[in-house]
Amino acid sequence: MKQAKKLIVAIVVLALLGGIGYVALTNAPSPDEGLAARVNGEEVKKTLLEERFERAKASYEAQGIALADQEITTIRQQLLDDLISETLLFQYAREQGITATEEMIENEYQQIVLQFPSEEDFQNTLTTQGMNTQELRQEISRQLIFRQIADRKAAEGKIIVSEEEMRRTYDETAESGTEVPPFEEVRGEIEEFLRQQKIGQLMDELVGQLRAQASIEILG
């Protein structure tokens, strides 16, 4: 109804303007204004890109790192690329019926909060990272969805980590000069590391497939 009212008002205004209606129309904001990209018709807003950039910038600043102009450009490009990949994964998740429920988000949120000695410490850390609690919950939702996609791809791919792979990783780490405990003590950690590495490869392949089939417009 609101859209219809706006359309009616626009038509009336153009009719009243008469001869100057064309000038007013050509000076109207572009429909792409405020957009960083469009992915399969879905909008990626510049405001979201800026939020991500400010968060990344705050993280660098917290480490005492000042970004040069070229680094800022590179980071922005990478963040936009990440947003496009995320949008594709969200679209895939919707097609597959994968969601993050409020209960799931709340459980993860509380687990994070419990890692801090006080609410003040928790809030200070969020501020340092350039985030607020709402943004944290959004991030948790994203990660839960991505985790479910990864778990499905892992199940489909029937990921197996061999003894040989674990031994090779252990030996390479030891040969690099890093002091490592006996193999049996870190066997489980190495296995999980390699498993996550393989899942990451499957996710990269999925994103590559989605990109190949997608309509992606970079708008600014």
- Give the integer Cα–Cα distance in Å for 10 and 12: 5
Q: What's the confidence (pLDDT) of residue 58?
A: 85
- Give the integer Cα–Cα distance in Å for 137 and 86: 16
Q: What's the confidence (pLDDT) of residue 7?
A: 29
Query: What's this model's pTM, rounded to 2 decimal places?
Result: 0.74
Q: What's the confidence (pLDDT) of residue 14?
A: 30
Q: What's the confidence (pLDDT) of residue 157?
A: 82
Q: What's the confidence (pLDDT) of residue 151?
A: 92
Q: What's the confidence (pLDDT) of residue 19?
A: 35
Instruction: Please write the tens of the pLDDT for every residue from 17-74.
Output: 333 333 333 333 455 679 999 999 999 999 999 988 998 888 888 889 989 999 999 9
Q: What's the confidence (pLDDT) of residue 28?
A: 36
Question: Where does the chain show beta strands of DSSP type E?
Answer: 35-39, 42-45, 216-218
Q: What's the confidence (pLDDT) of residue 178?
A: 84
- Give the integer Cα–Cα distance in Å for 211 and 205: 10
- Give the integer Cα–Cα distance in Å for 125 and 189: 28
Closest CA to 50 of 62, 58, 42: 58
Q: Following DSSP, what letter does each residue of 131-176 receive, concatenated? A: --HHHHHHHHHHHHHHHHHHHHHHHHHT----HHHHHHHHHHHHHT
- What radius of gyration, in Å, describes the C-alpha atoms of the chain? 24
Q: Which parts of the chain register pLDDT below 50? A: 1-29
Q: What's the confidence (pLDDT) of residue 100?
A: 95
